[in-house]
């Protein structure tokens, strides 16, 4: 009798806690949306651009985490997929007049010359095309493991970039595309970032996510339990490419000028750095690291111009920010081997646990010795 009442009480408490967490999540989202509305209307374009970049890098880092952190496949093709998304969105949203102005060396192919789409369909098509590219590349490449997969995807990413340099009549080659309409605002960028986080989180917490983690942990055992390795790896790869494509589209309509050099391997390295800094297998980590990285890179901008350090005159060194960032990354890896968050996620329960820990410490300081450990 007593056991049934306690389990019922436990159930009630659990459902209560669930709803409390849902309310808190709802409030947090509302506050965040409020902040976005305020920021969009009050901040200057420079700050807005940083906040938008935060969202784009969040998308990149979260999707990289899906492939590497959860599925264990080291893929270094992110820059290539971002390029596919960026060019697709750019070509679909550029005005007819701008296209003519851009393609002065060789005319654009007739198919694209008179296209001028709205932003949402362009972004979605960008995602779909990047996903198709991901599917086509992943199908053969995912047979490889570890380092070999990394090299193959790195190569594919470069191939995409070189193709874009040479497709003069589609991509305008190394001249790039200019005057892309600046549709990206905080609502679009953070809207898609939140959708990415939501979908990836739902997926990794589902049975498919457990299958992906089982592949990461032990391919032989996973396959012996009936998990189709190729199909599941391809699922993670394609979904990740889709969102990277969307990220690329947001980037193109944010910076308004793109050329193949934007999507060098360096972009992939940045994404890997962010994801590692945040912690493999933690979406919270990826998000926070993406924001920290983008903001830090801006905050550190002054050190590239000449400045005085005490009595020493330091000359401006371009690229100094990256040196400092590398040092920061090294420090993080030294002190947090698994990144800032490891594989942990933020949760309200965790937050309340921290609160109660602080409270017991405070009350313990006032009235020692503390009463016995509280049950639950």
Positions touching another protein (CB under 8 A) are 199-200, 202-203, 206-211, 213-214, 216-218, 220-229, 235, 239, 281, 343
Which residue is associated with the tokens 């921290």?
354
Length of the chain: 376
User: In angstroms, what CA-CA distances link 180 with 22, 109, 126?
Assistant: 40, 18, 15
Residue 342 CB, nearest approach to another protein (Å):
11
Q: How many helices (H) and strands (E) does the chain have?
A: 16, 2
Residue 198 CB, nearest approach to another protein (Å):
9
DSSP-derived letter for residue 144 is S
Task: Provide DSSP, 79-124.
Answer: HHHHHHHHHHHHHHHS-HHHHHHH--SSPPPHHHHT----HHHHHH
In degrees, rounded to 5, the angle at the alpha carbon of residue 283 between the alpha carbons of residues 280 and 285 is: 70
Residue 163 CB, nearest approach to another protein (Å):
30
Q: How far apart are the first and last CA of the chain?
A: 21
Q: Which is nearer to another protein, 213 or 321 (CB)?
A: 213
Please choose, from the candidates 61, 71, 18, the residue with its C-alpha nearest in 3D space to the C-alpha of residue 294: 61
Residue 339 CB, nearest approach to another protein (Å):
15
Residue 304 CB, nearest approach to another protein (Å):
41
């Amino acid at each position: 009798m007593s056991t049934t009442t306690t389990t019922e009480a436990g159930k009630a408490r659990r459902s209560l806690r669930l709803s409390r967490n849902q309310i808190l999540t709802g409030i947090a989202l509302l506050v965040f949306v409020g902040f976005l509305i305020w920021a969009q209307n009050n901040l200057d374009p420079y700050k807005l651009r940083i906040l938008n970049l935060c969202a784009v890098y969040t998308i990149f880092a979260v999707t990289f985490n899906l492939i590497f952190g959860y599925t264990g496949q080291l893929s270094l093709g992110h820059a290539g997929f971002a390029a596919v998304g960026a060019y697709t969105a750019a070509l679909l949203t550029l005005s007819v007049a701008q296209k003519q102005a851009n393609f002065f060396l060789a005319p654009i192919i007739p198919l694209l010359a008179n296209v001028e789409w709205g932003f949402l369909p362009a972004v979605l098509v960008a995602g779909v095309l990047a996903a198709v590219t991901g599917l086509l590349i992943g199908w053969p490449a995912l047979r490889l493991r570890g380092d070999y997969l990394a090299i193959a995807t790195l190569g594919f990413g470069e191939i995409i970039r070189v193709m874009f340099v040479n497709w003069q009549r589609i991509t305008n080659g190394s001249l790039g595309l200019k005057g892309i309409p600046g549709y990206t605002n905080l609502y679009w960028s953070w809207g898609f970032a939140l959708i990415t986080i939501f979908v990836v989180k739902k997926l990794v917490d589902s049975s498919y996510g457990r299958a992906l983690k089982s592949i990461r942990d032990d391919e032989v055992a996973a396959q012996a339990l009936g998990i189709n390795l190729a199909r599941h790896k391809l699922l993670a790869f394609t979904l990740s490419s889709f969102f990277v494509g969307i990220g690329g589209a947001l980037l193109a309509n944010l910076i308004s000028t793109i050329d193949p050099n934007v999507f060098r391997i360096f972009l992939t390295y940045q994404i890997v750095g962010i994801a590692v800094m945040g912690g493999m297998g933690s979406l919270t980590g990826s998000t926070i690291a993406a924001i920290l990285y983008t903001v830090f890179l801006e905050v550190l901008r002054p050190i590239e111009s000449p400045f005085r350090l005490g009595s020493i005159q330091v000359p401006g060194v371009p690229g100094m920010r990256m040196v400092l960032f590398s040092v920061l990354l090294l420090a993080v890896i030294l002190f947090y081997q698994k990144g800032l968050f490891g594989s942990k996620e933020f949760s309200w329960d965790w937050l309340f646990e921290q609160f109660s820990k602080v409270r017991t410490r405070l009350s313990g300081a006032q009235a020692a010795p503390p009463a016995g450990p509280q049950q639950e």
